[in-house]
């Protein structure tokens, strides 16, 4: 997420053009997010960088959030998601399995819809001048909203579950 606002079309009363001040810098922060496909709840971690160490910390957060459940994480193929620390963490936590999305397929990843909805709600056309405040609003939106996904229904997950009960 950048402090620089992304400009989108907005409605305004005739003669009252909204003014969006642009920030000239490229200040940014990063977010890791995991969407629970059953509940729509988001697990989120804010970070100044993205690397194997932070990715491993994020996986630890997911394991802590769901301490008793076997977990399958659908993940993109970012290089930092495949670091040696990740492999070691997976070996130490067999209840967590990762399935990687095919390369170049953000359309398959439900998390991308979460990012899109949150950018539309928080960071498009914003007038915030401080990155920290904008990031706090972004994180609060992720934590305080649910994001329904049709991925499980689309792929007959619930029918498959009934077959194995």
pTM of the model: 0.80
Categorize the per-residue pLDDT at 86 as very low, low, confident or very high, splitting at 50, 70 and 90: very high
User: What angle do helix axes 84-92 and 52-65 make, rounded to 10 degrees?
Assistant: 20
Q: pLDDT tens digits, residue range 103-137?
A: 888 888 999 999 999 988 887 766 677 888 989 99
Q: pLDDT tens digits, residue range 25-47?
A: 667 899 999 999 999 999 999 99
- Domains of the chain (ranges, CATH numbers): 30-164 (3.30.420.10)
Categorize the per-residue pLDDT at 51 as very low, low, confident or very high, splitting at 50, 70 and 90: very high
Cα(136)–Cα(156) distance, rounded to whole angstroms? 36
Nearest to 49 by CA among 63, 34, 28: 28
User: What angle do helix axes 110-118 and 131-144 make, rounded to 10 degrees?
Assistant: 130
User: How far are the Cα atoms of 109, 114, 159 from residue 143, in angstroms, in the given order?
Assistant: 19, 11, 30
């Amino acid at each position: 997420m950048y402090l620089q606002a992304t400009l989108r079309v907005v409605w305004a009363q005739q003669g009252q053009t909204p003014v969006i001040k642009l920030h000239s810098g490229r200040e940014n922060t990063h977010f890791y997010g995991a969407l629970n496909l059953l509940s729509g709840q988001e697990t989120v971690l804010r970070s100044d960088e993205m690397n194997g160490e932070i990715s491993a910390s994020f996986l630890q957060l997911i394991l802590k959030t769901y301490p008793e459940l076997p977990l399958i994480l659908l993940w993109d193929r970012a290089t930092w998601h495949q670091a040696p620390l990740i492999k070691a963490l997976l070996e130490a936590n067999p209840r967590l399995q990762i399935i990687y999305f095919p390369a170049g397929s953000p359309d398959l990843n439900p998390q991308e819809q979460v990012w899109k909805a949150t950018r539309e709600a928080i960071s498009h056309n914003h007038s915030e001048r401080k990155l920290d405040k904008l990031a706090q609003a972004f994180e609060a939106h992720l934590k305080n909203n649910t994001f329904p996904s049709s991925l499980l229904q689309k792929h007959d997950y619930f029918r498959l579950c009934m077959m194995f009960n």
